[in-house]
Structure 1
Amino acid sequence: MFRLVSSDSILSNSASLQKISDYINTSLQQAGYGFSSDGRTLGITPVIEHLLRKVGFVEVHLVPYMLNFSAGSPNWHMLYRNLEIMSQHFAPMLQYQGLTTEESEALYRQAHIDIRSEDFCAVEYLYAVYGKKK
């Protein structure tokens, strides 16, 4: 039995958060990770079911979900904390894309400001995929 919950990207009305997501996705794509043709997402969602079937899984199911990280939502704090962690661990990916340390830090600072706005909106589309081996 195989079960995976994953996501390709987060969508928001914060330009700085979107830039961070874009830089990370592009870095991963350039390093050979994911299945995106352009680096805008990880590109796993459209291919995961096919890949599992290709390696012998049957009864493969893909179930979509959506998490709301908007201001006032129950998941907002999770995004805020994840952004703090990302600013520590993903900074090298932004610098790999040509940003200086100062530019990277400024981008994360702006994202923290943006997500504290009462007008902040963000969602993440996730999926659960499961199947069993023949």
Structure 2
Amino acid sequence: MAEPENSYPIDPENAGELARLMQQDRLLTEGMGGLLPEPGIRLPERGRVLDLACGPGGWALELAFHYPKAEVIGVDISRQVIEYARAQAWSRGLENAHFEVMNVMEPLAFEDGSFDLINGRLLAGFMLPGAWPKLLAECDRLLKPGGIVRLTETEAPLTTSPAYERFASLVAQALKRAGQSLSADGRHLGITPILPRLVRKAGFEQVRLRATVIEWSMGTEAHYPVFKDYLLGLELVQPFLVKVGVATREELERLYQQAVAEMQQEDFCALWHLLTVWGYKPLASHEAEAEPEQALSGSDLDKTDG
């Protein structure tokens, strides 16, 4: 069987990218305040959860650990990361965590009304603009009435490094040129201002927003983890930038070295903004009056889990 085409701008089979995604996953969960920190998000004790483009499976594995009676399924286009996630679930004895190879820009092989919660984090790096409404329609199909879709996206961090800012602008331009951007002019990813409307247009109700800001200025606790994330990311994305023609390999190497130096200066300042948008699939009228099932709230979890 042929592997599905991957629009991810970094080679997902690269061992360095696998390590980066594992570290980034923990960084995101901790920086956002836990696994399900949003007010009002409640997962039934025996609920079913789908994690979209789960990567190495960090969030799904942690959720499966904290909700041992729930079933957590992660899907990703990369067979290598799915095999890694399966190995992690086996080594940790998490029989309630499962992982499958699937492309989230295509219909997913699950029955209607299969899940109580569908989660997705940082999908914009590979999602084609026209795929967003289709994915949200698929989420609507897969969720039970009253089920929740929860999506977290970002734009490039704001920093005081001229070289990093230039590099980030080249990434945004490259995604725009490759047809993988929602930005009006190619200066940003463009997903965060559009995401709430996409969720509402898909028919979800009570759509809410929660912003997270991670400061990774020099001297802060988050500086080294985020710096390491971007140190690897800016290196691994260079072949994509060369391929689409926004810069030469030599130009990128010089810019990369300058950015690395500037991000380690004593006066370096930086903020990483994330936006979580969540909404509920409408309840049928008779279900809206029913008593809610016994549930656990994500806010009850240790805020430093992950």
TM-score by length of 1: 0.92
Q: What's the CA shift string for 1:35-87, capped at 9, x where partnerless?
A: 11111111111111110111111111111121111101111112221122213
Aligned positions of 1:39-50 closer than 5 A: 39-50=186-197
Runs of 4+ in 1 over 4 A off after TM superposition: none
What pairs up with 1:8-47 in 2 under 5 angstroms? 8-47=155-194
- Equivalent residue, structure 1, for 2:258: 110
Tell me, yes or no, if structure 1 residue 74 matches structure 2 residue 74.
Answer: no
Question: Is the contact made by 1:26 and 1:39 (CA closer than 8 Å) also made in structure 2?
Answer: yes
SS at structure 2 position matched to 1:99: coil
Q: 2:180 and 2:206 mapped to 1: Cα distance?
A: 26
Percent identical pairs in the alignment equals 33
Aligned to 1:4: 151
**Count of aligned pairs between the two proteins:** 134
Q: Separation in 2 of the partners of 1:20 and 1:61?
A: 32
Deviation at 1:109, TM superposition (A): 0.8
Asked if structure 2 preserves the Cα contact closer than 8 Å seen for 1:20 and 1:94, the reply is no
Q: What amino acid sits opposite 1:18 in the alignment?
A: E
- Unpaired runs of 5+ residues, structure 2, are 1-147, 283-306
- Aligned-pair distance for 1:107? 0.9
Give 1:128 deviation, angstroms: 1.0
- Tell whether the 8 Å contact from 1:25 to 1:42 is kept in structure 2 after alignment: yes
Q: Which structure features the higher share of helix residues?
A: 1
Q: What are the within-5 Å matches in structure 2 for residues 114-125 of structure 1?
A: 114-125=262-273
Residue identity opposite 1:126 in structure 2? L
1:106 partner letter: R
Which amino acid in the other structure matches residue 229 of structure 2? N
Q: Over aligned residues, Cα RMSD in angstroms?
A: 1.4
Q: In the aligned structure 2, how far is the partner of 1:100 from the partner of 1:35?
A: 25
Give the Å deviation of 1:116: 0.7
Task: Please give the alpha-carbon distance, in whole angstroms, between the structure 2 residues aligned to 1:73 and 1:123.
Answer: 11
Give the structure 2 partner of residue 90 of structure 1.
237
Structure ID, larger Rg: 2
Q: Distance in 2 between matches of 1:99 and 1:33?
A: 18
- 3-state secondary structure, aligned to 1:65: strand
The corresponding residue for 2:278 is 130
Q: Which has the higher contact order (CA 8 A, sep 6+)?
A: 1
SS in 2 for 1:9: coil
Q: By percentage of residues, which structure has more strand?
A: 1
Aligned mates of 1:87, 1:124 — CA distance in 2: 15
SS in 2 for 1:60: strand
